[in-house]
Structure 1
Amino acid sequence: MTIRVVMAGATGWVGKALVPAIITADDLALAGAVARQSAGQDAGLAAGLPSEAGVKVSGSLEEALQAPSDVVVDYTKPDAVKANTLLSISKGRHVVIGTSGLGAEDYAEIDAAARSAGVGVIAAGNFSITATLLKRFALMAAKYVPDVEIIDYASARKPDAPSGTARELAEQLAQIRRPATSLPQSQVSGVPAARGGAVGQGEGVQVHSLRLPSYILSCEAIFGLPDERLTIRHDAGSSAAPYVAGTLLAIRRVGSITGLVRGLDALMD
Protein backbone atom coordinates (compact mmCIF):
# COMPACT_ATOMS: atom_id res chain seq x y z
CA MET A 1 0.00 0.00 0.00
CA THR A 2 1.37 3.38 -1.01
CA ILE A 3 1.55 6.02 1.72
CA ARG A 4 0.60 9.49 0.45
CA VAL A 5 2.75 12.17 2.08
CA VAL A 6 2.36 15.93 2.44
CA MET A 7 5.71 17.64 3.03
CA ALA A 8 5.36 20.86 5.03
CA GLY A 9 8.58 22.85 4.73
CA ALA A 10 9.36 21.34 1.35
CA THR A 11 12.03 23.88 0.43
CA GLY A 12 13.74 23.97 3.83
CA TRP A 13 17.06 22.40 4.74
CA VAL A 14 15.59 18.96 5.54
CA GLY A 15 12.62 19.29 3.20
CA LYS A 16 14.85 19.55 0.15
CA ALA A 17 16.46 16.24 1.11
CA LEU A 18 13.16 14.51 1.95
CA VAL A 19 11.22 15.44 -1.20
CA PRO A 20 13.44 13.39 -3.57
CA ALA A 21 13.58 10.53 -1.04
CA ILE A 22 9.78 10.39 -0.91
CA ILE A 23 9.47 10.60 -4.68
CA THR A 24 11.91 7.75 -5.32
CA ALA A 25 10.58 5.41 -2.59
CA ASP A 26 8.51 2.52 -3.97
CA ASP A 27 6.01 2.60 -1.11
CA LEU A 28 5.62 6.39 -0.77
CA ALA A 29 4.06 9.09 -2.93
CA LEU A 30 4.36 12.85 -2.67
CA ALA A 31 0.75 14.02 -2.36
CA GLY A 32 1.42 17.62 -1.41
CA ALA A 33 4.09 20.15 -0.54
CA VAL A 34 3.95 23.36 1.46
CA ALA A 35 6.32 26.31 1.13
CA ARG A 36 4.90 29.81 1.16
CA GLN A 37 7.56 31.47 -0.98
CA SER A 38 7.47 28.74 -3.62
CA ALA A 39 3.67 28.46 -3.90
CA GLY A 40 2.54 27.51 -7.39
CA GLN A 41 5.86 25.98 -8.43
CA ASP A 42 6.42 22.30 -9.07
CA ALA A 43 7.55 20.62 -5.85
CA GLY A 44 10.41 18.78 -7.51
CA LEU A 45 11.86 21.87 -9.13
CA ALA A 46 11.37 23.92 -5.96
CA ALA A 47 13.35 21.31 -4.01
CA GLY A 48 16.20 21.53 -6.51
CA LEU A 49 15.47 18.43 -8.59
CA PRO A 50 16.21 18.54 -12.33
CA SER A 51 12.73 17.31 -13.30
CA GLU A 52 9.16 17.95 -12.23
CA ALA A 53 7.46 15.90 -9.53
CA GLY A 54 3.97 16.57 -10.83
CA VAL A 55 2.86 18.14 -7.55
CA LYS A 56 2.34 21.87 -7.09
CA VAL A 57 3.61 23.61 -3.97
CA SER A 58 0.83 25.02 -1.79
CA GLY A 59 1.11 28.28 0.09
CA SER A 60 -0.54 26.84 3.20
CA LEU A 61 -1.08 23.46 4.84
CA GLU A 62 -4.85 24.03 4.74
CA GLU A 63 -4.62 24.19 0.95
CA ALA A 64 -2.39 21.13 0.69
CA LEU A 65 -4.77 19.06 2.82
CA GLN A 66 -7.57 19.54 0.32
CA ALA A 67 -6.04 16.68 -1.70
CA PRO A 68 -6.18 13.09 -0.36
CA SER A 69 -3.19 12.13 1.79
CA ASP A 70 -2.21 9.91 4.69
CA VAL A 71 0.74 11.48 6.52
CA VAL A 72 1.88 15.05 7.05
CA VAL A 73 5.59 15.60 7.69
CA ASP A 74 6.41 18.91 9.36
CA TYR A 75 9.83 20.51 9.04
CA THR A 76 8.68 24.12 9.27
CA LYS A 77 9.28 26.59 12.11
CA PRO A 78 8.77 26.55 15.89
CA ASP A 79 5.94 29.10 15.71
CA ALA A 80 4.00 27.08 13.12
CA VAL A 81 4.47 23.42 14.01
CA LYS A 82 1.83 23.09 16.73
CA ALA A 83 -0.94 24.67 14.66
CA ASN A 84 0.09 22.56 11.66
CA THR A 85 -0.02 19.40 13.74
CA LEU A 86 -3.42 20.07 15.29
CA LEU A 87 -4.83 21.02 11.86
CA SER A 88 -3.51 17.80 10.34
CA ILE A 89 -4.98 15.73 13.18
CA SER A 90 -8.35 17.44 12.78
CA LYS A 91 -8.29 16.41 9.12
CA GLY A 92 -7.61 12.77 10.02
CA ARG A 93 -3.95 12.70 9.00
CA HIS A 94 -1.10 11.03 10.81
CA VAL A 95 1.79 13.39 11.55
CA VAL A 96 5.58 13.15 11.72
CA ILE A 97 7.11 16.14 13.54
CA GLY A 98 10.72 17.05 12.83
CA THR A 99 10.40 20.70 13.87
CA SER A 100 11.70 21.77 17.27
CA GLY A 101 10.19 24.26 19.69
CA LEU A 102 7.44 22.23 21.36
CA GLY A 103 7.34 21.59 25.10
CA ALA A 104 5.80 18.95 27.34
CA GLU A 105 2.45 20.76 27.57
CA ASP A 106 2.28 21.08 23.77
CA TYR A 107 2.95 17.38 23.35
CA ALA A 108 0.30 16.50 25.92
CA GLU A 109 -2.27 18.51 23.96
CA ILE A 110 -1.17 16.89 20.69
CA ASP A 111 -1.35 13.41 22.24
CA ALA A 112 -4.89 14.02 23.49
CA ALA A 113 -6.02 15.35 20.11
CA ALA A 114 -4.44 12.42 18.25
CA ARG A 115 -6.04 9.83 20.53
CA SER A 116 -9.41 11.50 20.15
CA ALA A 117 -9.07 11.46 16.35
CA GLY A 118 -7.64 7.94 16.25
CA VAL A 119 -4.45 8.93 14.44
CA GLY A 120 -0.75 8.64 15.21
CA VAL A 121 1.93 11.26 15.75
CA ILE A 122 5.66 10.61 15.90
CA ALA A 123 7.84 13.48 17.10
CA ALA A 124 11.59 13.50 17.53
CA GLY A 125 13.99 16.22 18.49
CA ASN A 126 16.34 14.64 15.99
CA PHE A 127 15.67 11.93 13.40
CA SER A 128 19.36 11.14 12.97
CA ILE A 129 20.31 7.59 13.96
CA THR A 130 23.50 8.74 15.71
CA ALA A 131 21.67 11.50 17.59
CA THR A 132 19.19 8.86 18.72
CA LEU A 133 22.11 6.79 20.02
CA LEU A 134 23.32 9.83 22.00
CA LYS A 135 19.96 9.87 23.75
CA ARG A 136 19.96 6.12 24.37
CA PHE A 137 23.49 6.06 25.82
CA ALA A 138 22.80 9.13 27.98
CA LEU A 139 19.68 7.54 29.44
CA MET A 140 21.71 4.44 30.25
CA ALA A 141 24.38 6.53 31.99
CA ALA A 142 21.79 8.46 34.03
CA LYS A 143 20.88 5.27 35.88
CA TYR A 144 24.35 5.23 37.41
CA VAL A 145 25.47 8.88 37.50
CA PRO A 146 23.08 11.40 39.10
CA ASP A 147 24.83 14.62 38.03
CA VAL A 148 24.27 15.54 34.39
CA GLU A 149 24.01 18.75 32.43
CA ILE A 150 23.50 19.40 28.73
CA ILE A 151 25.24 21.81 26.39
CA ASP A 152 23.26 22.63 23.25
CA TYR A 153 25.12 24.18 20.30
CA ALA A 154 23.52 25.72 17.22
CA SER A 155 23.96 28.48 14.68
CA ALA A 156 23.57 32.12 15.64
CA ARG A 157 20.30 32.31 13.70
CA LYS A 158 18.47 29.38 15.32
CA PRO A 159 15.32 30.93 16.83
CA ASP A 160 14.50 28.40 19.56
CA ALA A 161 16.46 27.41 22.64
CA PRO A 162 17.09 24.75 23.63
CA SER A 163 17.12 22.71 20.44
CA GLY A 164 14.64 19.90 20.04
CA THR A 165 17.42 17.37 20.57
CA ALA A 166 18.51 18.91 23.87
CA ARG A 167 15.00 19.51 25.11
CA GLU A 168 13.83 15.97 24.43
CA LEU A 169 16.97 14.56 26.05
CA ALA A 170 16.63 16.77 29.15
CA GLU A 171 12.96 15.91 29.63
CA GLN A 172 13.66 12.19 29.51
CA LEU A 173 16.76 12.40 31.69
CA ALA A 174 14.73 14.30 34.30
CA GLN A 175 12.31 11.38 34.52
CA ILE A 176 14.94 8.80 35.48
CA ARG A 177 17.91 10.56 37.07
CA ARG A 178 18.59 10.44 40.79
CA PRO A 179 18.81 13.71 42.78
CA ALA A 180 21.77 15.84 41.70
CA THR A 181 24.47 16.85 44.16
CA SER A 182 24.84 20.35 42.68
CA LEU A 183 23.08 23.28 44.33
CA PRO A 184 19.58 23.96 42.98
CA GLN A 185 19.30 27.15 40.98
CA SER A 186 17.26 28.77 43.76
CA GLN A 187 20.35 28.64 45.99
CA VAL A 188 22.79 30.06 43.44
CA SER A 189 24.06 33.59 44.11
CA GLY A 190 25.41 36.06 41.59
CA VAL A 191 23.58 35.58 38.28
CA PRO A 192 21.52 32.37 38.67
CA ALA A 193 20.62 32.35 34.97
CA ALA A 194 24.28 31.64 34.25
CA ARG A 195 23.57 28.09 35.45
CA GLY A 196 21.35 27.54 32.43
CA GLY A 197 17.69 26.63 32.29
CA ALA A 198 16.10 23.68 34.07
CA VAL A 199 14.20 21.48 31.63
CA GLY A 200 11.96 18.59 32.64
CA GLN A 201 9.94 17.50 35.65
CA GLY A 202 11.02 18.04 39.24
CA GLU A 203 14.28 19.94 39.48
CA GLY A 204 14.83 19.23 35.79
CA VAL A 205 18.17 19.02 34.01
CA GLN A 206 20.25 22.15 33.44
CA VAL A 207 20.59 23.00 29.74
CA HIS A 208 23.02 25.60 28.41
CA SER A 209 22.31 26.80 24.85
CA LEU A 210 25.11 28.35 22.78
CA ARG A 211 24.15 30.20 19.61
CA LEU A 212 27.24 31.07 17.59
CA PRO A 213 28.38 31.20 13.95
CA SER A 214 30.13 28.07 12.61
CA TYR A 215 27.94 25.65 14.59
CA ILE A 216 25.19 23.67 12.85
CA LEU A 217 23.72 21.41 15.53
CA SER A 218 25.57 19.72 18.37
CA CYS A 219 24.47 18.35 21.71
CA GLU A 220 26.47 16.93 24.58
CA ALA A 221 25.48 15.36 27.86
CA ILE A 222 28.13 15.73 30.54
CA PHE A 223 28.02 13.39 33.55
CA GLY A 224 30.14 13.96 36.65
CA LEU A 225 31.30 11.82 39.55
CA PRO A 226 34.09 12.59 42.03
CA ASP A 227 37.39 12.58 40.09
CA GLU A 228 35.86 11.52 36.77
CA ARG A 229 33.56 12.72 33.99
CA LEU A 230 31.76 11.18 31.04
CA THR A 231 30.83 13.20 27.94
CA ILE A 232 28.46 11.85 25.27
CA ARG A 233 28.24 14.16 22.27
CA HIS A 234 26.63 14.30 18.85
CA ASP A 235 27.71 16.68 16.07
CA ALA A 236 25.68 17.25 12.92
CA GLY A 237 27.34 18.02 9.61
CA SER A 238 26.26 20.48 6.96
CA SER A 239 24.03 18.00 5.11
CA ALA A 240 20.45 17.06 5.99
CA ALA A 241 21.05 13.50 4.77
CA PRO A 242 21.32 11.97 8.30
CA TYR A 243 17.70 12.94 9.05
CA VAL A 244 16.20 11.31 5.96
CA ALA A 245 16.34 7.63 6.92
CA GLY A 246 14.85 8.22 10.36
CA THR A 247 12.05 10.37 8.98
CA LEU A 248 11.19 7.78 6.33
CA LEU A 249 11.04 5.14 9.05
CA ALA A 250 8.62 7.32 11.02
CA ILE A 251 6.44 7.90 7.93
CA ARG A 252 6.16 4.16 7.44
CA ARG A 253 5.38 3.43 11.10
CA VAL A 254 3.13 6.31 12.16
CA GLY A 255 0.00 4.78 10.64
CA SER A 256 0.26 1.80 12.99
CA ILE A 257 0.01 3.82 16.21
CA THR A 258 -2.62 5.92 17.97
CA GLY A 259 -1.58 8.96 19.97
CA LEU A 260 1.88 10.45 20.35
CA VAL A 261 5.21 8.64 20.33
CA ARG A 262 8.26 10.75 21.15
CA GLY A 263 11.74 9.86 19.97
CA LEU A 264 13.09 7.80 17.12
CA ASP A 265 14.48 5.33 19.65
CA ALA A 266 10.93 4.14 20.30
CA LEU A 267 10.88 2.80 16.71
CA MET A 268 14.41 1.48 16.35
CA ASP A 269 13.87 -1.85 18.13
Structure 2
Amino acid sequence: MIRVVIAGATGWVGKALVAAVTAAPDLEIVGAVARTAAGADAGIATGLAPLGVTVHATLAEALAIPSDVVVDYTKPNSVRAHALEALAAGRHVVIGTSGPTAEDYDEIDAAARAAGRGVFAAGNFSVTAALMKRFALEAARYVADVEVIDYASAKKPDVPSGTARELAEALGAVRSAPTTRPVADISGPKEARGAAIGRPTAVQVHSVRLPSFVLACEALFGAPDERLVIRHEAGSSAAPYVAGTLLAVRRVAEAPGLRRGLDMLMD
Protein backbone atom coordinates (compact mmCIF):
# COMPACT_ATOMS: atom_id res chain seq x y z
CA MET A 1 0.00 0.00 0.00
CA ILE A 2 1.41 3.41 -1.03
CA ARG A 3 0.60 6.12 1.52
CA VAL A 4 -0.13 9.45 -0.16
CA VAL A 5 -0.24 13.08 0.99
CA ILE A 6 -2.02 15.49 -1.38
CA ALA A 7 -0.98 19.14 -1.16
CA GLY A 8 -3.63 21.32 -2.75
CA ALA A 9 -6.33 18.79 -1.88
CA THR A 10 -9.26 21.16 -2.37
CA GLY A 11 -8.10 22.52 -5.72
CA TRP A 12 -9.37 21.71 -9.19
CA VAL A 13 -7.19 18.60 -9.63
CA GLY A 14 -6.74 17.96 -5.92
CA LYS A 15 -10.40 17.13 -5.33
CA ALA A 16 -10.39 14.60 -8.16
CA LEU A 17 -7.18 13.06 -6.81
CA VAL A 18 -8.58 12.63 -3.31
CA ALA A 19 -11.48 10.66 -4.77
CA ALA A 20 -9.22 8.61 -7.06
CA VAL A 21 -6.69 7.72 -4.35
CA THR A 22 -9.53 6.77 -2.00
CA ALA A 23 -10.96 4.43 -4.62
CA ALA A 24 -7.62 2.80 -5.58
CA PRO A 25 -6.97 -0.57 -3.88
CA ASP A 26 -3.18 -0.04 -3.75
CA LEU A 27 -3.19 3.58 -2.55
CA GLU A 28 -4.14 5.21 0.76
CA ILE A 29 -4.60 8.90 1.46
CA VAL A 30 -3.03 9.66 4.83
CA GLY A 31 -2.63 13.44 4.60
CA ALA A 32 -4.08 16.50 2.89
CA VAL A 33 -2.97 20.12 2.74
CA ALA A 34 -5.22 23.11 2.02
CA ARG A 35 -5.14 26.33 4.04
CA THR A 36 -8.74 27.23 3.37
CA ALA A 37 -10.02 23.88 4.68
CA ALA A 38 -7.58 23.35 7.56
CA GLY A 39 -9.08 21.28 10.36
CA ALA A 40 -11.81 19.75 8.22
CA ASP A 41 -12.08 16.10 7.21
CA ALA A 42 -10.49 15.63 3.77
CA GLY A 43 -13.50 13.71 2.51
CA ILE A 44 -16.03 16.35 3.51
CA ALA A 45 -13.78 19.15 2.22
CA THR A 46 -13.66 17.53 -1.24
CA GLY A 47 -17.31 16.48 -1.50
CA LEU A 48 -16.93 12.87 -0.35
CA ALA A 49 -17.97 10.89 2.69
CA PRO A 50 -15.74 11.40 5.77
CA LEU A 51 -12.33 9.77 5.35
CA GLY A 52 -10.92 10.19 8.84
CA VAL A 53 -8.05 12.26 7.40
CA THR A 54 -7.61 15.83 8.65
CA VAL A 55 -6.74 18.64 6.28
CA HIS A 56 -3.64 20.53 7.45
CA ALA A 57 -2.73 24.15 6.82
CA THR A 58 0.92 23.39 6.03
CA LEU A 59 2.88 20.56 4.48
CA ALA A 60 5.08 20.40 7.57
CA GLU A 61 2.04 19.38 9.64
CA ALA A 62 1.08 16.69 7.12
CA LEU A 63 4.64 15.31 7.05
CA ALA A 64 4.39 14.54 10.77
CA ILE A 65 2.24 11.57 9.72
CA PRO A 66 4.10 8.58 8.14
CA SER A 67 3.70 8.57 4.35
CA ASP A 68 5.48 7.52 1.16
CA VAL A 69 4.64 10.04 -1.58
CA VAL A 70 3.72 13.72 -1.56
CA VAL A 71 1.68 14.93 -4.53
CA ASP A 72 1.81 18.68 -5.12
CA TYR A 73 -0.97 20.55 -6.92
CA THR A 74 -0.63 23.87 -5.11
CA LYS A 75 0.71 27.24 -6.32
CA PRO A 76 3.70 28.15 -8.52
CA ASN A 77 5.40 30.02 -5.67
CA SER A 78 5.06 27.08 -3.27
CA VAL A 79 5.99 23.97 -5.20
CA ARG A 80 9.80 24.26 -5.06
CA ALA A 81 9.82 24.70 -1.28
CA HIS A 82 7.28 21.88 -0.86
CA ALA A 83 9.38 19.49 -2.94
CA LEU A 84 12.56 20.24 -0.99
CA GLU A 85 10.69 19.96 2.32
CA ALA A 86 9.20 16.59 1.37
CA LEU A 87 12.54 15.23 0.17
CA ALA A 88 14.23 16.34 3.40
CA ALA A 89 11.56 14.37 5.26
CA GLY A 90 12.32 11.24 3.22
CA ARG A 91 9.33 11.27 0.89
CA HIS A 92 9.11 10.72 -2.84
CA VAL A 93 7.46 13.61 -4.70
CA VAL A 94 5.07 13.95 -7.64
CA ILE A 95 4.74 17.50 -9.01
CA GLY A 96 1.73 18.55 -11.03
CA THR A 97 1.97 22.26 -10.26
CA SER A 98 3.21 24.54 -13.04
CA GLY A 99 5.74 27.28 -12.46
CA PRO A 100 9.14 25.75 -11.53
CA THR A 101 12.01 26.81 -13.79
CA ALA A 102 14.81 24.64 -15.14
CA GLU A 103 17.00 26.00 -12.33
CA ASP A 104 14.38 25.00 -9.75
CA TYR A 105 14.29 21.50 -11.15
CA ASP A 106 18.09 21.29 -11.09
CA GLU A 107 17.96 22.04 -7.35
CA ILE A 108 15.15 19.55 -6.77
CA ASP A 109 17.03 16.88 -8.73
CA ALA A 110 20.18 17.39 -6.65
CA ALA A 111 18.17 17.19 -3.41
CA ALA A 112 16.39 14.03 -4.57
CA ARG A 113 19.64 12.30 -5.45
CA ALA A 114 21.18 13.30 -2.14
CA ALA A 115 18.14 11.92 -0.31
CA GLY A 116 17.93 8.78 -2.45
CA ARG A 117 14.34 9.61 -3.32
CA GLY A 118 12.44 9.93 -6.58
CA VAL A 119 10.70 13.00 -8.00
CA PHE A 120 8.39 12.86 -10.98
CA ALA A 121 7.17 16.10 -12.54
CA ALA A 122 5.01 16.83 -15.54
CA GLY A 123 3.75 20.08 -16.94
CA ASN A 124 0.63 18.12 -17.86
CA PHE A 125 -0.36 14.65 -16.66
CA SER A 126 -2.83 14.17 -19.51
CA VAL A 127 -2.02 11.29 -21.87
CA THR A 128 -3.01 13.33 -24.93
CA ALA A 129 -0.79 16.23 -23.82
CA ALA A 130 2.10 13.76 -23.49
CA LEU A 131 1.38 12.59 -27.04
CA MET A 132 1.52 16.20 -28.26
CA LYS A 133 4.99 16.52 -26.75
CA ARG A 134 6.12 13.23 -28.28
CA PHE A 135 4.88 14.17 -31.76
CA ALA A 136 6.42 17.65 -31.51
CA LEU A 137 9.81 16.22 -30.58
CA GLU A 138 9.62 13.91 -33.58
CA ALA A 139 8.79 16.86 -35.84
CA ALA A 140 11.71 18.85 -34.42
CA ARG A 141 14.09 16.27 -35.86
CA TYR A 142 13.13 17.46 -39.33
CA VAL A 143 12.00 21.09 -38.88
CA ALA A 144 14.23 23.38 -36.81
CA ASP A 145 12.02 26.47 -36.74
CA VAL A 146 9.40 26.10 -34.01
CA GLU A 147 7.66 28.35 -31.52
CA VAL A 148 5.25 27.48 -28.71
CA ILE A 149 1.94 29.21 -28.04
CA ASP A 150 0.31 28.74 -24.64
CA TYR A 151 -3.36 29.57 -23.98
CA ALA A 152 -5.07 29.76 -20.59
CA SER A 153 -7.79 31.60 -18.71
CA ALA A 154 -7.46 35.26 -17.88
CA LYS A 155 -6.90 34.43 -14.20
CA LYS A 156 -4.07 31.91 -14.51
CA PRO A 157 -1.29 33.46 -12.40
CA ASP A 158 1.83 31.96 -14.01
CA VAL A 159 3.35 32.19 -17.48
CA PRO A 160 4.03 30.10 -19.39
CA SER A 161 1.97 27.08 -18.39
CA GLY A 162 3.81 24.00 -17.17
CA THR A 163 2.85 22.26 -20.41
CA ALA A 164 4.40 25.01 -22.56
CA ARG A 165 7.53 25.31 -20.43
CA GLU A 166 8.17 21.58 -20.46
CA LEU A 167 7.56 21.42 -24.21
CA ALA A 168 9.87 24.34 -24.97
CA GLU A 169 12.66 22.94 -22.81
CA ALA A 170 12.35 19.53 -24.50
CA LEU A 171 12.36 21.10 -27.98
CA GLY A 172 15.34 23.29 -27.12
CA ALA A 173 17.33 20.20 -26.21
CA VAL A 174 16.79 18.40 -29.54
CA ARG A 175 16.21 20.85 -32.38
CA SER A 176 18.83 22.24 -34.74
CA ALA A 177 19.74 25.91 -34.94
CA PRO A 178 16.76 27.94 -36.23
CA THR A 179 16.83 29.94 -39.46
CA THR A 180 14.68 32.80 -38.13
CA ARG A 181 16.24 36.20 -37.41
CA PRO A 182 17.74 36.27 -33.89
CA VAL A 183 15.69 38.25 -31.39
CA ALA A 184 18.73 40.40 -30.61
CA ASP A 185 18.73 41.60 -34.23
CA ILE A 186 15.10 42.71 -34.51
CA SER A 187 13.82 46.27 -34.16
CA GLY A 188 10.96 47.21 -31.89
CA PRO A 189 10.04 45.76 -28.46
CA LYS A 190 11.83 42.45 -28.17
CA GLU A 191 9.14 41.23 -25.74
CA ALA A 192 6.83 40.95 -28.75
CA ARG A 193 8.79 37.86 -29.78
CA GLY A 194 7.90 36.05 -26.57
CA ALA A 195 10.12 34.51 -23.89
CA ALA A 196 13.19 32.46 -24.79
CA ILE A 197 12.97 29.16 -22.93
CA GLY A 198 15.13 26.06 -23.24
CA ARG A 199 18.75 25.10 -23.70
CA PRO A 200 21.06 24.80 -25.52
CA THR A 201 18.79 26.32 -28.22
CA ALA A 202 16.02 28.48 -26.78
CA VAL A 203 12.47 28.32 -28.14
CA GLN A 204 10.25 31.42 -28.22
CA VAL A 205 7.13 30.94 -26.08
CA HIS A 206 4.05 33.18 -26.27
CA SER A 207 1.44 33.10 -23.48
CA VAL A 208 -2.14 34.15 -24.22
CA ARG A 209 -4.40 34.82 -21.22
CA LEU A 210 -8.05 35.48 -22.11
CA PRO A 211 -11.54 34.63 -20.88
CA SER A 212 -13.14 31.45 -22.31
CA PHE A 213 -9.85 29.53 -22.51
CA VAL A 214 -9.17 26.61 -20.14
CA LEU A 215 -5.77 25.28 -21.21
CA ALA A 216 -4.29 24.77 -24.66
CA CYS A 217 -0.79 24.53 -26.04
CA GLU A 218 0.58 24.28 -29.55
CA ALA A 219 3.91 23.78 -31.24
CA LEU A 220 4.00 25.81 -34.46
CA PHE A 221 6.59 24.63 -36.99
CA GLY A 222 7.55 26.61 -40.09
CA ALA A 223 9.41 25.42 -43.18
CA PRO A 224 9.66 26.91 -46.69
CA ASP A 225 6.13 27.03 -48.16
CA GLU A 226 4.57 24.87 -45.41
CA ARG A 227 3.60 24.85 -41.76
CA LEU A 228 2.78 22.20 -39.16
CA VAL A 229 0.73 22.80 -36.00
CA ILE A 230 0.59 20.23 -33.21
CA ARG A 231 -1.98 21.34 -30.63
CA HIS A 232 -3.47 20.04 -27.40
CA GLU A 233 -6.67 21.43 -25.88
CA ALA A 234 -7.99 20.65 -22.40
CA GLY A 235 -11.62 20.57 -21.36
CA SER A 236 -13.16 21.86 -18.17
CA SER A 237 -12.73 18.65 -16.13
CA ALA A 238 -9.69 17.56 -14.14
CA ALA A 239 -10.34 13.91 -15.03
CA PRO A 240 -7.66 13.69 -17.80
CA TYR A 241 -4.91 14.47 -15.27
CA VAL A 242 -5.86 11.90 -12.66
CA ALA A 243 -4.76 8.66 -14.35
CA GLY A 244 -1.34 10.08 -15.25
CA THR A 245 -0.79 11.39 -11.73
CA LEU A 246 -1.67 8.04 -10.19
CA LEU A 247 0.72 6.31 -12.59
CA ALA A 248 3.47 8.64 -11.40
CA VAL A 249 2.60 7.96 -7.75
CA ARG A 250 2.96 4.24 -8.35
CA ARG A 251 6.29 4.54 -10.19
CA VAL A 252 8.05 7.54 -8.64
CA ALA A 253 10.08 5.31 -6.30
CA GLU A 254 11.64 3.34 -9.16
CA ALA A 255 14.71 5.58 -9.44
CA PRO A 256 16.32 8.34 -7.36
CA GLY A 257 16.47 11.84 -8.79
CA LEU A 258 14.16 13.82 -11.03
CA ARG A 259 12.26 12.55 -14.06
CA ARG A 260 10.11 14.90 -16.13
CA GLY A 261 7.30 14.33 -18.60
CA LEU A 262 4.53 11.75 -18.56
CA ASP A 263 5.82 10.43 -21.89
CA MET A 264 8.69 8.84 -19.95
CA LEU A 265 6.21 6.44 -18.34
CA MET A 266 3.92 5.77 -21.27
CA ASP A 267 5.96 2.92 -22.75
State TM-score, norm by structure 1: 0.98
Aligned residues: 267
CA deviation after TM superposition for structure 1 residue 202, in Å:
3.4
**1:38 has 2:42 as partner:** no
Q: How does 1:1-16 map to 2 (within 5 A)?
A: 2-16=1-15
Q: Deviations over 1:50-100 (max 9, x none)?
A: x11110101110000000000000000000000000000000000000001
Q: State the distance in 2 between where 1:89 and 1:192 align.
A: 39
CA contact (8 A) 2:173 2:201 kept: no
Q: Deviations over 1:11-46 (max 9, x none)?
A: 000001000100010000001000001001010110
- What SS does the corresponding residue of 1:213 show, helix, strand or coil? coil
Q: How does 1:197-212 map to 2 (within 5 A)?
A: 197-212=195-210
Q: Deviations over 1:129-183 (max 9, x none)?
A: 0000000000000000010001000011111101000000000100110111111
**1:110 has 2:108 as partner:** yes
Q: How does 1:126-165 map to 2 (within 5 A)?
A: 126-165=124-163
Partner of 2:75: 77
**1:120 has 2:118 as partner:** yes
Q: State the distance in 2 between where 1:207 and 1:256 align.
A: 33
Q: One-letter code of the match for 1:48?
A: G
- What SS does the corresponding residue of 1:175 show, helix, strand or coil? helix
Partner of 1:58: 56
CA deviation after TM superposition for structure 1 residue 190, in Å:
1.2
Q: One-letter code of the match for 1:40?
A: G
Q: How does 1:213-252 map to 2 (within 5 A)?
A: 213-252=211-250
Partner of 1:90: 88
**1:177 has 2:181 as partner:** no
Q: State the distance in 2 between where 1:234 and 1:48 align.
A: 30
**1:193 has 2:179 as partner:** no
Q: One-letter code of the match for 2:71?
A: V
CA contact (8 A) 2:39 2:54 kept: yes
Sequence identity (%): 67
Q: One-letter code of the match for 2:97?
A: T
CA deviation after TM superposition for structure 1 residue 256, in Å:
1.3
CA deviation after TM superposition for structure 1 residue 48, in Å:
1.2
CA contact (8 A) 1:184 1:203 kept: no
Partner of 1:47: 46
Partner of 1:268: 266
CA contact (8 A) 2:98 2:161 kept: yes
Partner of 1:18: 17
CA deviation after TM superposition for structure 1 residue 257, in Å:
1.4
CA contact (8 A) 1:17 1:240 kept: yes
Q: One-letter code of the match for 1:178?
A: S
State TM-score, norm by structure 2: 0.99
CA deviation after TM superposition for structure 1 residue 101, in Å:
0.4
RMSD: 0.6
**5+ residue gaps in structure 1?**
none
- What SS does the corresponding residue of 1:261 show, helix, strand or coil? strand
CA contact (8 A) 2:7 2:70 kept: yes
- What SS does the corresponding residue of 2:204 show, helix, strand or coil? strand
- What SS does the corresponding residue of 2:158 show, helix, strand or coil? coil
CA contact (8 A) 1:9 1:35 kept: yes
CA contact (8 A) 2:94 2:252 kept: yes
